[in-house]
Amino acid sequence: MKKILVTGGAGYIGSHAVVQLMENNYDVIVVDDLSNSRAASLDGVEKITGQRPEFVQLDLKNEAATQDFFNTHSDIAAIIHFAASKAVGESVANPLMYYRNNLCGLMNVLEGMLEQDIPALIFSSSATVYGQPDDLPVTEATPTLPANSPYGNTKQIGEEIIRETVHANEKLKAISLRYFNPVGAHESALIGEFPLGVPNNLLPFITQTGIGIREKLSVFGSDYDTPDGTCIRDYIHVVDLVDAHIVALERLLENKNESRYEVFNLGTGSGYTVLEVIKAFEEQSGVKLNYQLVDRREGDVEKIWANPELANEKLGWTAKRGLEEMVRSAWEWEKNCREMESVES
């Protein structure tokens, strides 16, 4: 069994990736500082898979501690690097925190890879690297315009750091996966998105409003150049997203990559407005949402959706789940969370 390091593996996307890796017979070690995640997510992983991954609580910004970790874990075959702060609005308010967390951690991981001859990296990138593109849908050849937020800029810079490090070190190879908008939850409703504090992403705010934790949902901007005036995003089910990580990982481990640094968009190819997502949630849940239209939020892109043809062709991967399944699974996860909380209390 090849050992795979998953940084940020107790987080939303990371925990789903850990499940998929373990179900594909990989030996998984999770590193997470738990700054925006819960170790309890690994309980859900264990219930789903019947196994518990090895877990190390570690702040990857700490260079000495990260070096010690790699010195004692020299048998890692590849790394999937999720660990990063990810809220657009928060990054606008606190850019230094985002640059420090997202870039220092990445550089420390890369240094550990070079020291221990770990050859393969999957990087959790983002469609925010495109800024507000002039032409849609977005392909991997779309120019990366100035980012609309410090968060997006950290992903642009992160990709540049990886590209140049790979170029300088012929034993290293990497794939950057540019996510569009991951949503939804595992079909078991045992793991899902659990933001600490007020959610920064749309769907958990929708489900928390639907269940009564939040009084009202604010829709940022109603005067965009879109069919109903609200932002358009390409929403992708988190399980589809992590399926692509397994395929990309095997591409590197089996030396099927066509160059030592590759980039793929991960999206469905379809865009939905915020109001369309709200409507889909109301139809799937039977719950009428209390929402209000408010001013635009700094850092938001007006509209963006993917052209996923390169990933379809080169990885043999296609997103399979539609918007209805995305919102339904997120709602089942939300209800299960609150039921577990009531039992525990």
Q: Does 108 lie in the same domain as 31?
A: yes
Quickly list H helices, 258-322: 274-285, 309-310
The total number of structural domains in the chain stands at 2
Among 223, 245, 266, identify where a domain stops.
266
**Rounded to an integer, what distance in angstroms lies between the CA atom of residue 305 and that of residue 234?**
5
pLDDT at 154: 97
Is residue 192 a part of any domain in this protein? no
pLDDT at 199: 85
Q: Does 19 lie in the same domain as 146?
A: yes
pLDDT at 343: 57
Two structure tokens written together for 75: 């048998």
Is residue 10 a part of any domain in this protein? yes
- In the chain, which ranges are E strands? 3-7, 27-32, 54-57, 76-81, 120-126, 173-179, 181-183, 217-220, 232-233, 235-237, 261-266, 272-273, 291-294
Nearest to 244 by CA among 172, 171, 151, 313: 313
Is residue 188 a part of any domain in this protein? no
pTM summary value: 0.95
**Rounded to an integer, what distance in angstroms lies between the CA atom of residue 103 and that of residue 109?**
10
Q: Does 281 lie in the same domain as 252?
A: no
Q: Does 247 lie in the same domain as 213?
A: no
Q: Where in the sequence is the domain holding 100, given as residue range(s)? A: 3-183+235-266
Q: Does 287 lie in the same domain as 164?
A: no
Neighbours of 341 (CB within 10 A): 9
Among 221, 243, 266, identify where a domain stops.
266
**How far lies 37's CA from each of 44, 85, 105, 290, in Å?**
13, 11, 16, 27
List per-residue pLDDT tens for the chain, 345 residues long. Answer: 899 999 999 999 999 999 999 999 999 999 999 998 999 999 999 999 999 999 999 999 999 999 999 999 989 999 999 999 988 889 999 999 999 999 999 999 999 999 999 999 999 999 999 988 999 999 999 999 888 899 999 999 999 999 999 999 999 999 999 999 999 999 999 999 998 888 888 999 999 999 999 999 999 999 999 999 999 999 999 999 999 999 999 999 999 999 999 999 999 999 999 999 999 999 999 999 999 999 998 888 899 999 999 999 999 999 999 999 999 999 999 999 888 766 565
Is residue 190 a part of any domain in this protein? no
CATH code: domain of residue 287: 3.90.25.10
Q: Does 168 lie in the same domain as 249?
A: yes
pLDDT at 342: 61
Q: Does 240 lie in the same domain as 227?
A: no
CATH code: domain of residue 143: 3.40.50.720
Q: Does 149 lie in the same domain as 102?
A: yes
Q: Does 58 lie in the same domain as 22?
A: yes
Q: Does 149 lie in the same domain as 292?
A: no
Q: Does 262 lie in the same domain as 166?
A: yes
- The residues assigned a catalytic role are 151
**Apex CA 269: angle with CA 181 and CA 209, to 5°?**
35
